[in-house]
Amino acid sequence: MKRVVATEFFTIGHSNRSLEAFIELLQEVGIELLVDIRKFPMSRTNPQFNKDSLTEALAAAQISYEHLAALGGRRGKARDVPAQLNDFWTNDSFHNYADYALSAPFHDGLEHLLEEGRKQRSVIMCAEAVWWQCHRRIVTDYLIAHGESVVHIMGP
């Protein structure tokens, strides 16, 4: 039977928020699972968002944590994708990620995200505060293409 109602997925960038303010934003929308889509789940400038610290703080707030490296950013130039295929991306980082999004590992990661997000209220997280300057932009395009709904948390 085909689903009629879209699942609501959320996105957030941790930016330089305090961990307390960050978790409060997640609690305001009832997040149950945070899916970390940073390639490297750490921050030199905001260590409160390193995987270990973040996992512990989220657990105390009854929010699960999962690092999903298959959706991580910072991808190199794809050698097996024609350069002109994603040429409309003028930023090399977006172009490289759009090329990576054509790969089997990306699609496996996306399927996993879809499965988890349909089970529990989920947010995908990266570091960048604004989603349109982050690879979350491309991940959410794929979620929308799969018939899902996306809400970007942009709070203080």
Q: Over the stretch 104-127, which tens digit does the pLDDT of each residue have?
A: 999 999 999 999 999 999 999 999
Q: Can you state the percent helix, strand and coil of the chain, rounding each to 5?
A: 45, 15, 40
Tell me the whole-structure pTM to 2 decimals. 0.92
40 is a domain residue = yes
2 is a domain residue = no
Give the CATH number of the domain where residue 146 resides: 3.90.190
Residue (of 108, 135, 100, 114) closest to 13 by Cα position: 135
1 is a domain residue = no
Three-state SS at 126:
strand
32 is a domain residue = yes
Q: What is the largest CA-CA distance in the chain?
A: 47
Whether the predicted pLDDT of 132 surpasses 80: yes
60 is a domain residue = yes
Can you tell me the distance from the alpha carbon of 144 to that of 141, in angstroms, rounded to the nearest whole number?
5
Q: How far is CA 41 from CA 14, 50, 89, 98, 122, in A?
A: 12, 6, 26, 21, 17
pLDDT for 78: 85
pLDDT tens-digit series, residues 90-109: 888 989 999 999 999 999 99
Tokens coding 141: 């395009």
Query: Which amino acid, 145?
Result: A
DSSP state of 6: P
132 is a domain residue = yes
Q: How far is CA 108 from CA 120, 129, 133, 147, in A?
A: 19, 26, 24, 17
Query: Residue 124's domain spans which residues?
Result: 8-152
Domain count, the chain: 1
pLDDT for 89: 81
127 is a domain residue = yes
Distance of CA 48 to the CA centre of its chain: 18
pLDDT for 72: 95
> What number is the average pLDDT over the span 124-138?
96
* pLDDT tier, 156 (very low <50, low <70, confident <90, very high otherwise): confident
84 is a domain residue = yes
